[in-house]
Structure 1
Amino acid sequence: MVSEPLHPGLNQVGDEWVVIDFETASSRGTPCQVAALRFRDGTEVDRFTSLIYQAPDSFYPFNVALHGISPEMVEDAPTWPEVCGELVRFTGASPLVSHYAPFDMGVVRDACDFCEIEWPSLRYTCTVSISRRVWPGMQSYSLPLLCTELGLSVDEDLTHDALYDSRLAAEILGRAITAKGATGLDDLLSKIWLFFGEVAPDGWFGSRARANAAGSIPEADLDADPDSPFFGKVVVFTGELAMVRRNAWQAVAAAGGQPSNNVSKKTNMLICGYQDMLKLAVGKTKSHKLQRVEELHADGEHIEILTERDFFRLLGGIERPQANV
């Protein structure tokens, strides 16, 4: 299978990657379809697709309505251990790419756990994290809406088909590489300060932000525990902290929160450290950030104000990804 290059100028980028997508019968551990597309120099050169057997009682009506895959369609399909082995052989040493990798890599881990087989060794990245850095401020980073924002044609009748969604994710990655003037996937991640995530037999860690020389704020780790008190929250610090501010940012990002320097309507938490009164403007008794939160409170916005002790207490209750080993 050979296709046209993803985007003008991508036929000589000189690297190789595999875009992957799963559909599930119900929970993350019940994959019923997988598609993996191999791209070399910006052009699709091979593909692996398969339905995956799941017991009839594992299918939720909601999931079936989304992707149209019924228990009858998979009754003769290979099981997950068989498909996983084929998928690993197809992938080889190439990095995986998916749109919202926490879900797709979670499918791999949970399905292996359910079948009591070893996790494979995979290296991966996420086009949601990439898109947030290449095109900040989008209204939505969901697959169909992001594609529409980027001018890509989307057939709503085909979304939630693993093969179709893989192709859309590949188009997004191709445009991101072009937008940043990168020579390929590795160069793109270097330019936007992201590391690959990894799954291995002895553990896993998510695709995460690098600290750069300019001191940029790290991006939330979307592979973090969704039950973390910081997951999905925008967190701002004010005042002097007992820990280095960058370390506090990294702790929030590792817990799935998004650190920010500025208070806005998107802010969910303000963490207040020690306030040196000599550093405040003349006549002021509160930092500008705390004043701004109080103004937003008066306008009906809900922003939680926490002490640094509260922050450490919440951090102390968070399990790190290594606990999933």
Structure 2
Amino acid sequence: MLNFTAIDVETANSDRGSVCAVGLALVRDSQLVRTVEWHVRPPTGVDQFDARNVGIHGITPDMVRTAATWGESLEEISSLSEQHPLVAFNAAFDKSVVTKASALVGMEPLANPFHCALKLSRRLMTLDQYKLPLVASELGLAPFSHHNAGSDAGTCAKVVLALSEIHDLRTVDSLWVPASSSARSKTQPGPTAFSKANRAALADLPQPNPNADPNHPFFGRQVIITGDLESYSRWDAAEAIAHVGGVNGKGVTKKTAFLVVGDGRTHDRIALESGTTKERKAAAYIDAGQKIQVLTESEFIALAAAPIVQELRVSTTDFQSSEVTAEEPMSEKTGAENDGTWLHERELQAPLAEVSVPHLLPNSSPVPAALGDSPTTAVIADSPVETQVPKTEQLKRRVSYTPNENLRPRSKPKVSSSFVGWLLLFGVVAVVSYLLAR
């Protein structure tokens, strides 16, 4: 029988320790018996609320003023989960939040083993992307309130129970086994269940648009993606790259110019040497002198998804280099190393420091997530302005930027049409004269 506790946490900002909500779903004897959720006061020092996070989950500072501390929350989680394993959808994130928040308040993290329902879904299902709402829908589960901690935890538990029933895997140990294990059920698909982009041969990937602007940074250059993106399926991302003239690939090579790192990671949480196979390979090429620019998802969107970009400016000095740095921080931290002048971005959403939380919640209704399946919602300074752009339309639009005039190819000198006419007339007269003389 299945015994586990599904857990979901929300954070106030990009710091993993800034937990502001917890949801638990208790599964005992293969039955979902209880779902609970509560707000949390983030630990001191990481308790500021960023506009992007508030826009995703709708939790504001006022909502957590009298909430439980993380220390109290950790004790409650331990009591409710007992000795049973914890399960999260993208467990790497939730486990890191629990660990970081615990360290900030001087407590030991939970000793319960963590299992990942996202990895389980990837192994047992064949989808183009594996976001929780899509996985739940594919399994026939009821709609739920995404980014509500209790609702997400409950749906995570239901996903595990559904996959357990479909594949006749009745224990935690039988669900989370290595892909090569002999314990896999005969009805359980093997590790070939990947997305459309992963299954496609290199020649079948979206090909570069020959009519794309040659001044676009991706034009004619190989762009490789590692990890899951929140905003695109792998195939949609490949189409976006090709649309602006970029070259898709299956892995990092000597031709790679950009590596897009997904899984919600920002530059301060990317360590190529200890990352995915593609990241480690990129690190080796970089050490050997190759110029490969690492992009976060928000930086990739800024280049590939025009609707959320207002202006891009490319300088003449760094355009030929693969080294990309940012003039101003984007919605995610870009790190102190970004002191160059290659890219200047202005999003429709004002810098987070300039956006006050109340403006994000007009009439107390949470703003939809800017990077989810719903249309994009942009908030400019003091007044909420919604700009709704369907994702399919985003893929059709080209990135909007102001190219440096020095980068444009020089136009060829124009030849006067009258001169050409006289030249043709002279040729005709000469031919006629020659024929008459014979």
**1:33-72 aligned within 5 A:** 33-54=21-42, 58-72=48-62
Query: Paired residue for 1:121, among 111, 114, 128?
Result: 111
Describe the SS at the equivalent of 1:53: coil
- Equivalence for 1:24: 11
TM-fit CA distance, 1:18: 0.5
The answer to whether residue 148 in structure 2 is matched with residue 161 in structure 1 is: yes
What is the CA distance between 1:85 and its match in structure 2?
1.7
Q: Check 1:42–1:144 CA distance in 2 against 1; reply closer, same or farther (3 A cut).
A: same
* Residue number among 144, 147, 158 corresponding to 2:136 in the alignment: 147
Q: Which amino acid aligns with 2:253?
A: I
Please state how far the C-alpha of 1:107 moved relative to its aligned partner.
0.5
- C-alpha distance in 1 between matches for 2:19 and 2:200: 40
Match of residue 68 from structure 2: 78
- Deviations, residues 205-253 of structure 1 (Å, cap 9, x unaligned): xxxx666699x77999xxxxxxxxxxxxx9xxxxxxxxxxxxxxxxxxx
User: Counterpart in 1 of 2:123?
Assistant: 133
Deviations 1:43-68, CA, capped at 9 Å, x for gaps: 12234432111369511122112212
Aligned mate of 1:185, from 147, 152, 172: 172
Does the CA contact (< 8 Å) of 1:134 and 1:179 recur in 2?
no
Cα distance change on mapping 1:316 and 1:16 into 2, 3 Å = farther
Tell me the equivalent position of 1:301.
248
What is the CA distance between 1:141 and its match in structure 2?
Answer: 0.5
Give the TM-score of the pair, scaled to structure 2: 0.43
For structure 1, list consecutive stretches of 5 or more residues without a partner in the other structure: 1-13, 194-208, 221-233, 235-257, 270-295, 318-325
Residues of 2 paired with 1:315 and 1:20: CA distance?
A: 39
**1:106 CA drift (Å):** 0.8
Residue 31 (structure 1) shift: 0.8
Distance 1:97 1:80 in 2: 19
Contact 1:210–1:218 under 8 Å retained in 2? no
Check the 8 A contact 2:88/2:94 in 1, yes or no: yes
In structure 2, the partner of 1:204 is none
Contact persistence 2:224–2:248 (CA under 8 A): no
The within-5 A match list for 1:247-286 is 265=205, 268=224
Shift of the 70–213 alpha-carbon distance from structure 1 to 2, 3 Å rule, reads closer
CA distance in structure 2 between the aligned counterparts of 1:89 and 1:315, rounded to whole angstroms: 48
Q: Is the 8 A contact 1:22 1:104 kept in 2?
A: yes
Aligned length: 217
Q: Does 1:175 align with 2:122?
A: no
C-alpha distance in structure 2 between counterparts of 1:131 and 1:75, whole Å: 37
Q: Is the 8 A contact 2:122 2:193 kept in 1?
A: no
Q: Which structure's CA Rg is the greater one?
A: 2
Q: Cα distance, 1:120 vs. partner?
A: 2.5
Letter in 1 for 2:29: D
Q: Secondary structure at the match of 1:58?
A: coil
Question: In the alignment, does 2:302 pair up with 1:314?
Answer: no
Contact 2:254 2:285 in 1 (8 A): no
The match for 1:109 is 99
3-state SS, counterpart of residue 122 of structure 1: coil
How far apart are residue 74 of structure 1 and its match? 0.9
- What is the identity, as a one-letter code, of the residue corresponding to 2:73? V
Task: Give deviations 1:141-168, integer Å, cap 9, x for gaps.
Answer: 011122122222214xx21111111111
Distance 1:133 1:18 in 2: 21
Which moves more between the two structures, 126-135 or 62-71? Answer: 62-71
Change in 2 beyond 3 A, CA 1:219/1:24: farther
**Does the CA-based 8 Å contact 2:35-2:150 persist in structure 1?**
no
Asked whether the 8 Å contact 1:147–1:168 carries over to 2, the reply is yes
* Change in CA separation of 1:210 and 1:64 when aligned onto 2, cut-off 3 Å: same
Q: What residue identity is the alignment partner of 1:160? A: H
8 Å contact from structure 2 (residues 123, 191) kept in 1:
no
Q: How does 1:239-254 map to 2 (within 5 A)?
A: none
1:135 is displaced (CA, Å) by 0.5
